[in-house]
Structure 1
Amino acid sequence: MSRPDPRNVKRIACIGAGTIGGGMVAQFLASGYDVIAQDPGKDAHDSLERLLDQAWPILERIGLQPGASRDRLRFTKDIEEAVADAEFVQESVPENLELKVGIYEKLDHLVPASIVIGSSTSGFPMTEIQKRCRYPERTVVAHPVNPPYLIPLIEIVGGEKTDPAVLDWATDFFDAVGKRVLRMENEIYGFLINRLQIALFREALQMVAAGKASVAQIDDCLTHGLGLRWACMGPFATFHLGSGDRGLGDFMDSFGRGAEWRAPYVTETPLPEWTSELREKIVRQAEEVINGRTIPQMIEERNETIIGLLKLREASRINASKNVA
C-alpha cells in the first residue's frame, strides 16, 4: 500500500477543534500545512479562532516554519468535507470511548485505507478505539501535551492491529511537524505522560485529604523545587547525581537495601520486587540517557539550565507586574 511521504504531507484534517484539537490545528498551521478543521459545535469556529488569536503570537516567538499562515485554515461542520483529499487525519473529539469508536468507524469508510488516522486520546488504548474499523492497521494514538502548539512532546503508540510500518510513518511525520516523538512499544492505559502525572497528582490528593500538606505547599514543591530539576533531566538522571561521584548504580543499591523506608511512600501502586536484574536494566538504560556525559558535565548542565529558568521566571513576573500596573 502506497502512503503519502510522511515528510511531504501538505493537507491535514483535524476532527474536533476544542482545546486539544484547536491546539493541534495551531501546531499544523505553524508548521506550514494546509489544515481543514471540523467540529459540529455551535460556537466551535469562533472558539477555534479565539484559540488561534492566543496561540499565534506565541508561535511567532517560537519561530514559524516556511509557508506558515492562518490563511491556510478552512473550517467546516461536515466530516466528509473535512477529510476529502487529506493526507493525514488527527482526531481530537471529546474523551468518550464510544464516541471515538463511532468516529473511527465513520472515518474508516470516508478515508482511503492508505491514509493514517491519529487520535489525541489521553488514555484510551488504540486497541479499543479501532475495534470496529475495517482498516485498523492504519490507526495510531498521537497524544500531545497541552498546549500542543507549545509543548513539543507527542506520544505515538499503536493498537493490537496497528501495522508497525504505520508507527514508523507517524514517527517520521510528527518529526517533520517539529514534535519530539516519544514512540511507545507497549500499549498501556494513560500512556506515559498521564501515568506519571496522575501518579504524582494522586499523592498530592492523598496528602491534602489527610491534612498533611496544603495545595500551596505542594505547588511550591514542584514549581520551586522538583519542576526546576525536571526541566533539564528526569528522575533517573537526577538520582545519578544524587550519590556524589558514585552514580546511579550506587543510588539504586541504596534504594534497594532501603525497602523498609520505601513502604510509607506507596499508596495505590506497589513497588516492583527489587532484583539484580531490575537494577541492571535501569542502570543499562540510564547509560543511554547519560550518553557518555560525566557527572561534572551533567551538574554544570543542570545548574546552567536552572539559573536560566530562575532568571526567566523573575523577568516574566516583572513584566507581568508592569502590565497589570
Structure 2
Amino acid sequence: MSQRLAVIGTGVIGNGWIARALANGWDVTAFDPAPDAEARTRDFVDNAWPSLERLGLAEGADASRLRFMESPEATVVGADLVQENAPERIELKREILATLDAATEPDVIIGSSTSGFKPSDLQRDCRQAPGRVIVAHPFNPVYLLPLVELVGGEATTPIHTETAQSLYQGLHMRPLVVRREIEGHIADRLMEALWREALHLVNDGVATTEEIDAAVVYGCGLRWSLMGTFLTFHLAGGDAGMRHMLEQFGPALKLPWTRLEAPELTDELIDKVVEGCEHQAAGRSVAALNRRRDDFLVELLALVQRYWPEAEGLEGRI
C-alpha cells in the first residue's frame, strides 16, 4: 500500500516536497489558498520530472498521483506524513500547525519546513499531540537535495524522532537529527555567515556577485561537496591534520577578516546585487536556470555517492 504525503503551502519548497514524494511513488494531497496554486504546482512538477527520471523513479511513480483539496483539514485526512510550508511568520505558522494538529491522527508526524523557528515555539498552540510537530527543514531543490534537518521541541520524544527519520528515509532523504533546538538550525546558520560576508564584499567594492560566486564554485565549493568544512581543514594541516592546522592558522581567527554582522541593505547595495545577478543570468529565465542547476546536481549527486561512504543506501534515487 502506497504512502501519502499531505502538503500545506505550495510555494517553491512545498512544490519541491510534492515532486519528491511523487517521484518516490507516494500519493500526494495538497492545499494552498492561492487561486492559481494547482496550475503552478503542476507546471513545477513537469519542469522537475526529467531530472527525477534521470535519477530513477520509484515503482508506481506518477505525476498524476496529486490531488488538490479545498481545506487543510481535508488535505491531512489519511495522510502518513504532513509537511507545512507556510510563509516564515511565527504567528501564522502556529495557527496553521494548531489546525493541522487538531485535524490529524495523533500518531502522524507533522513536519515544518521552517528555516529559522524553533520547534518548541511552533508546538505552543497545539493541543492534541504537540510532540509530533517537529522541524523538518529541507534544501532547495527539495526534489534533488537529500538533506533534511530534523529538530524536536520540548514535547518531542525519541519515538517521534525515530518515526520521522524512517518516514523521510522513505522519501530517500538523508535526515540529520539536530541535537538541540536553535534558531536557524545548522546549515542555514552556516550559509547565512557566508551570505553576510559576501554582501560586505559587494558593498565595499571588493568583488562583484559573479566574482564571489566564481570563488565558491571553483574553490571552496568543490571541496565542500565532498568533505564539508572540518575535514577540508583537517587536510590543510598536512600529515599532522587538524591539530597542526589549528596551531598554525588558529591565531588568524582573531584577525578582523570577517564581518559577521550584515551590512545595511541600502538602495545602492540592493542595486549592485540585483544588477550583478541579472548579468549572471544573461537573459535566461528562472525555469531555464532551474533545469541547468538540476542537470548539474543529478551528475554531482552521483559523484558524491561514489566517494561519500555515508551515502550508502541512497544509490539510484535521492
Tell me the TM-score normalized by structure 2: 0.79
Residue type at the aligned position of 1:106: T
Distance 1:156 1:54 in 2: 28
Which letter maps to 2:154?
E
Q: Relative contact order (C-alpha < 8 Å, sep 6+): which is higher?
A: 2
Is the partner of 1:36 in helix, strand or coil?
Answer: strand
* Residues 198-213 of structure 1 aligned to structure 2 (within 5 Å): 198-213=192-207
- Closer, same or farther in 2 for the Cα pair 1:9/1:125, shift >3 Å? farther
In 2 relative to 1, CA 9–173 (structure 1 residues): closer, same or farther, beyond 3 Å?
farther
Answering whether residue 74 of structure 2 is matched by residue 120 of structure 1, we say no
How many residue pairs end up in the alignment? Answer: 263
Letter in 1 for 2:238: G
Contact between 1:9 and 1:87, CA under 8 Å: does it hold in 2? Answer: no
Considering only CA atoms, is the larger Rg found in Structure 1 or Structure 2?
A: 1
> Alpha-carbon deviation of 1:255?
3.0
Amino acid across the alignment from 1:231: S
Counterpart of 2:256 in structure 1 is 264
User: What secondary structure, in the 3-state scheme, does the structure 2 residue paired with 1:70 have?
Assistant: coil
Partner of 1:96: 89
Letter paired with 2:3: K
Query: Is 1:51 aligned to 2:44, yes or no?
Result: yes
Unmatched tracts of structure 2, length 5 or more: 262-298, 304-318
Q: Which of residues 184, 187, 204 is equivalent to 1:190?
A: 184
Contact 1:208-1:215 at 8 Å conserved across structures: yes
Q: Distance in 2 between matches of 1:75 and 1:173?
A: 22
- 1:241-256 paired onto structure 2 within 5 Å: 241-256=235-250
RMSD: 1.7
Task: Determine if the alignment matches structure 1 residue 33 to structure 2 residue 2.
Answer: no
> Distance in 2 between the 1:23 and 1:77 partners?
20
Deviation at 1:216, TM superposition (A): 2.0
Greater mean deviation of Cα atoms: 143-152 or 156-165: 156-165
User: What amino acid is aligned across from residue 177 of structure 1 in structure 2?
Assistant: L
Cα drift, residue 81 of structure 1: 1.4
- Matches of 1:17 and 1:79 in 2, distance apart? 12
1:132-190 superposed Cα distances (whole Å, 9 cap, x missing partner)? 01121111111100010011111101112212211111111111210011111111111
Q: Residue by residue, what CA displacement relative to the aligned partner does 1:70-127 show, whole Å, maximum 9, x if unpaired?
A: 1221112321211111121111112221111000111121112111110111111111
Decide whether the 8 Å contact of 1:122 with 1:194 is kept in 2: yes
2:239 alignment partner, SS class: coil
Distance 2:2 2:204 in 1: 52
Give 1:9 deviation, angstroms: 6.5
Contact 1:12 1:86 in 2 (8 A): yes
- In 2, are the aligned partners of 1:115 and 1:138 still within 8 Å (CA)? yes
- 1:62 to 2:62 alignment: no
User: Which residue matches 1:144?
Assistant: 138
Equivalents in 1 of 2:260, 2:71: separation in Å? Answer: 44
Name the residue aligned to 2:171.
177
Matched, 1:24 2:49: no
